């Protein structure tokens, strides 16, 4: 009887430690202020990490970055102190989704009414 109780308690502890709660265990916070040499600086950027199936990604109660996967930036500040011509330099190629529809895929517009030069 005592072995059964110990086994149940161990199972509960393992379950609690291995949980992956969205917004709790899959969170990364980034802060690069204080380094003036960086071309882009971020402050208090909070990122949620997901696997390829949009499930929260964590292992043993800690964030787990898997590729392929997804990052959702939910808050923070980004400062770009120098002007960049992103359209001609091709430094940034955004992919933007709304629901299941891709509005932009790697810098190319997925919408006829919005030209690629705006992405």
pLDDT of residue 50: 94
> How far apart are the C-alpha atoms of 108 and 94, rounded to whole Å?
8
Burial class (CB in 10 A: 0-12, 13-18, 19+), 65: middle
C-alpha span between 73 and 14 (Å, rounded): 30
Q: How high is the pLDDT of residue 114?
A: 65
Q: What is the DSSP letter of 56?
A: B
Task: Note down pLDDT in tens along the chain; length 119 residues.
Answer: 667 665 556 455 555 556 788 999 999 998 877 777 777 788 899 999 999 999 999 988 889 888 888 899 999 998 888 887 766 666 666 677 766 777 777 777 777 666 666 54
On whether the CB atoms of residues 63 and 49 are closer than 8 A, the answer is yes
Peptide bond connecting 68 to the previous residue in cis, omega within 30 degrees of 0: yes
């Amino acid at each position: 009887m005592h072995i059964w109780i110990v086994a149940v308690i161990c199972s509960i502890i393992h379950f609690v430690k291995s949980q992956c709660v969205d917004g709790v265990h899959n969170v990364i916070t980034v802060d690069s202020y204080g380094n003036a040499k960086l071309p882009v600086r971020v402050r208090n950027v909070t990122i949620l990490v997901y696997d390829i199936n949009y499930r929260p990604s964590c292992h043993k109660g800690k964030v787990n970055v898997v590729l392929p996967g997804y990052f959702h930036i939910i808050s923070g500040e980004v400062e770009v102190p120098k002007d960049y011509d992103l359209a001609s330099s091709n430094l940034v190629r955004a992919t933007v989704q709304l629901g299941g529809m891709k509005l932009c895929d790697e810098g190319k517009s997925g919408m006829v009414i919005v030209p690629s030069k705006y992405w």
